[in-house]
Structure 1
Amino acid sequence: MSITTEPPATDTAAHPAAPVSHADPFSMEFFENPHRIHEELREAGPIVWLDRYGIYAVARYAEVHAVLNDWQTFCSSRGVGMSDFAREKPWRPPSLVLETDPPEHDRARAVLNRALSPAVMKRLREGFAAAAERKAEELVRRGSFDGIADLAEAFPLTVFPDAVGLRQDGREHLLPYGGLAFNAFGPDNALRRQALADAAPHVAWVTEQCQRENLAPDGIGAQVHAAADTGEITPAEAAMLVRSLLTAGLDTTVHGIGAAIYCLARFPDQWARLHADPSLARGAFEEAIRFESPVQTFFRTTTRAVVVGGTTVGEGQKVLMFLGAANRDPRRWEEPERYDISRRTSGHVGFGSGVHMCVGQLLARLEGEVMLAALARKVSAIEITGEPVRKYNNTLRGLASLPVTLRPAGA
């Protein structure tokens, strides 16, 4: 790690400027294939200046991990996107967990951690696994289908809204709202402008669903609101935390399952291993998160001058973290370009790291594991039978379509 918060030297020669890159991490070229640019940024140095946007960037694992774990120096409360909340108004009230720092963050995070605890996941597992079995049986009967719409999106949309306690009507707003939230973290480009232009109906529906009276009394959302009864949070804060749950608990899962199916179809030897031992499903999902990194980037803002990789970064500077680049950094991972479901992936930053680690990670892992295990027991091979289509987003990396065909076990 090459980050120090010691007072920067006055001698500029002691802390030279960061290497300059002309790369655009919010371009269609990058969305189609970020790996070449990732390698260029990693090899350029521990920190790079992106002149197109006037921001710093870190792409090596050590620096990304260090920034994620030092909220005192690299804060989230000024926005985890390109917008600096100290200088411009957020497009929505800031998230109480994603866009705050301790101690405010800890109070809200404690409520969500309890609502999404390992004990709650254990209670949900049986129902989620049964739903995964039904979905796998349906897909085996169909044989050919879209791995995104019919699986990666369909399964989480079957179990997640019920677990939260959402009503049945209007659930089609969930994915567009998540896409909007993650697009808004980017610059003022066409993707962000279009997302905000289309936002009104999705924001209105989500805002309404977050109110206590619209949530089932036995769901996760109601558990969050129950914290207002004890004075831990206010009723208004409870609604905002349910909003955070809807943002964090669905898109990471959809893109994670999609990434896993995409990987396993491209690496048939790994599907064969999974089919032979479905208990590897958790590892297959986790390795897909590392390998594809559905959440590609997040920003932090410096609270004070800091030296990163020999370069002095002043206070109030945006720093872009390339999570996807860190997850394939050869300085951290052996053969990082190989998808290996038995790899020890502990430490990957696909769900972030530190106090702001993804609040929906346990849900994502549970859903990914039970769905892949159900398929592994019933399917001996999976093949891509059409051209995959990318879904473009300023923060997320995933597919809009993935035509696949299954070969049933024993066929």
Structure 2
Amino acid sequence: MDMAASYSPTDPDVLAHPYPYYAALRKGPAARYIEIDDLWVISRFEDVGTALRDPATFSSKALWALFGGMVSAREGVRPNVREFAATQPRSLIALDPPDHIPMRRLAAKMFTKRAVDGYARTIRSICHELVDDLLDHRDGGEVDLVAQFHHPLPVRVIAEILGIPIERRRDFKRWSDILINRLSGRGDSPQEKADLKRMMEYFDAIIKERRAHRSDDLISLIISGNESAGEFLTGWDLFNFCALLLSAGNETTTNLLGNLFNAFFLNPDQFEKARRAPDLAPVVEEILRYESTVQAVVRLTNSAITVGECTIPADAIVLLLTGSANRDETRWVAPDRFDIEREPLPHFGFGTGIHHCLGAALARLETEIATDVLRSRTSLIEPAGQAARSANIILRGFSSMPASVKPA
């Protein structure tokens, strides 16, 4: 089978096993048109990086094509993405310069390396509480790592940063899941729409409360910054900002931890090395490269652009395959091998350019501390059944991960 010719980002087999398809794509032209989906893909490291750093040509407005279920045209003619985007609220991940810059500044100071390091003690305390609970809830020594640890950790951390009560964490997870489902054009059932309405009402109340009584939380910071900037964000924009921070803050670290422990399970020698490693930062960098949480970034071309020998027309949907770029054999030796002692090189695990992940430092810190606490509190963590993947066109992670766990 010609895997490059049969590649489609919406194909279930591609979603389950993307890397052989990526390898085939990298051996072909620099850009490839996928007729069944009416989109283009770019797969090599240098080409993906060039596109990510060129927002003038590759517009982030294409993100609305994801939420509108318009990335693939396999089920009919795609509606006009620009017209649809014009009807939507402003979202940090779907804005181009110059509008993107002031919106990012509203939250950036809470996610600097210095600010994030100030959360370390809180994150470690949460991790120990979760391990206590995990060990107490083992059934015959088995536990679902995603349900008991990988998901609750970032939910509690982002709730702390946003200044919202963790008692609503079940709601947060449900709302976050619906928002992530919309990345594949799903999440529009009557029940899901009703849930999103409840989320809107919840954040509307929080925003009104913070307008009246400021604190040192992120929502208060955004409201104050917006007032100082002349209220360029509407109430609907503010709600959308909160929803983005909630869902992105959850999914990034949940998927990062799930991908890491799956790699450990498939490579137990690397897990043993990680248990003894004096510094876990290289471990985190390697999983970001090896099994990228964000497998692709979607863009809309503002004008025709030549990539290698191919010319992509204006108004084309383009998938920048970061998951493929991070396994480019021209950049890494044996890129399909998970090796925590690999010399770290810059990768696109958190993107690059103006849309480099705002919460990258936080996700790195959470993953390092979580791995450190798990290795210190356990003598054994190994798979105890089939883990369930949660993969869509953009994100790659796990929805469940049965494991046998023994305390240290």
Range into which the TM-score falls when normalised by the shorter chain? 0.7 to 0.9
Deviates more, 1:232-241 or 1:347-356: 232-241
| Superimposed CA distance per residue, residues 292-314 of structure 1 (whole angstroms, 9 cap, x where no aligned partner) | 11211221111112110111122
Query: CA shift at 1:404, angstroms?
Result: 0.9
Query: CA shift at 1:258, angstroms?
Result: 1.0
Aligned residues of 1:167 and 1:214 also touching (Cα < 8 A): no
Look up the equivalent residue of 1:385 and give its one-letter code.
A
Query: CA shift at 1:195, angstroms?
Result: 4.6
Query: CA shift at 1:403, angstroms?
Result: 0.9
Query: CA shift at 1:92, angstroms?
Result: 7.8
- The two structures, once aligned, show a CA RMSD in angstroms of 2.5
2:38 aligns to what?
Answer: 54
Which of 46, 54, 78 is 1:70 aligned to? 54
How many residues are aligned here?
385
Aligned residues of 1:140 and 1:378 also touching (Cα < 8 A): no
2:200 aligns to what?
Answer: 207
1:4 aligns to what?
Answer: none
| Superimposed CA distance per residue, residues 188-225 of structure 1 (whole angstroms, 9 cap, x where no aligned partner) | xxxx2455554323322332343423568332222222
Structure 1: state its 5+ residue gaps.
Answer: 1-18, 187-191
For residues 22 and 88 of structure 1, the distance between their equivalents in structure 2, rounded to whole angstroms, comes to: 31
For residues 187 and 239 of structure 2, the distance between their equivalents in structure 1, rounded to whole angstroms, comes to: 26
Query: CA shift at 1:173, angstroms?
Result: 3.2
Q: How does 1:370-385 map to 2 (within 5 A)?
A: 370-385=369-384
**TM-score, normalising length from structure 2?**
0.86
For residues 93 and 401 of structure 2, the distance between their equivalents in structure 1, rounded to whole angstroms, comes to: 31
1:231 aligns to what?
Answer: 229
**Residues 356 and 94 from structure 1, CA distance in 2 versus in 1: closer, same or farther, beyond 3 angstroms?**
farther
Look up the equivalent residue of 1:347 and give its one-letter code.
P
For residues 84 and 330 of structure 1, the distance between their equivalents in structure 2, rounded to whole angstroms, comes to: 37
**Residues 276 and 94 from structure 1, CA distance in 2 versus in 1: closer, same or farther, beyond 3 angstroms?**
same
For residues 370 and 16 of structure 2, the distance between their equivalents in structure 1, rounded to whole angstroms, comes to: 27
1:273 aligns to what?
Answer: 273
1:148 aligns to what?
Answer: 146
Q: How does 1:178-217 map to 2 (within 5 A)?
A: 178-186=176-184, 192-195=185-188, 197-211=190-204, 212-214=207-209, 217=215
- Of all paired residues, the percent bearing the same amino acid is 25
**Residues 344 and 125 from structure 1, CA distance in 2 versus in 1: closer, same or farther, beyond 3 angstroms?**
same
2:63 aligned counterpart, secondary structure: coil
| Superimposed CA distance per residue, residues 311-347 of structure 1 (whole angstroms, 9 cap, x where no aligned partner) | 1122111111111111111112121111122334442
Q: How does 1:312-327 map to 2 (within 5 A)?
A: 312-327=311-326
Query: CA shift at 1:87, angstroms?
Result: 4.2
| Superimposed CA distance per residue, residues 113-155 of structure 1 (whole angstroms, 9 cap, x where no aligned partner) | 1122223212211111111123234434544211111111122
1:160 aligned counterpart, secondary structure: helix
**Residues 395 and 213 from structure 1, CA distance in 2 versus in 1: closer, same or farther, beyond 3 angstroms?**
same
Aligned residues of 2:33 and 2:40 also touching (Cα < 8 A): yes
For residues 387 and 301 of structure 1, the distance between their equivalents in structure 2, rounded to whole angstroms, comes to: 38
| Superimposed CA distance per residue, residues 147-206 of structure 1 (whole angstroms, 9 cap, x where no aligned partner) | 1111111222233212211234543233343343344344xxxxx245555432332233
**Residues 144 and 214 from structure 1, CA distance in 2 versus in 1: closer, same or farther, beyond 3 angstroms?**
farther
Which of 166, 169, 174 is 1:171 aligned to? 169
**TM-score, normalising length from structure 1?**
0.85
1:5 aligns to what?
Answer: none
Aligned residues of 1:305 and 1:312 also touching (Cα < 8 A): yes
Query: CA shift at 1:366, angstroms?
Result: 1.7
Q: How does 1:116-127 map to 2 (within 5 A)?
A: 116-127=111-122
**Residues 194 and 98 from structure 1, CA distance in 2 versus in 1: closer, same or farther, beyond 3 angstroms?**
closer
Query: CA shift at 1:88, angstroms?
Result: 4.3
For residues 96 and 261 of structure 1, the distance between their equivalents in structure 2, rounded to whole angstroms, comes to: 32
2:74 aligns to what?
Answer: none
2:128 aligns to what?
Answer: 133
Query: CA shift at 1:84, angstroms?
Result: 7.2
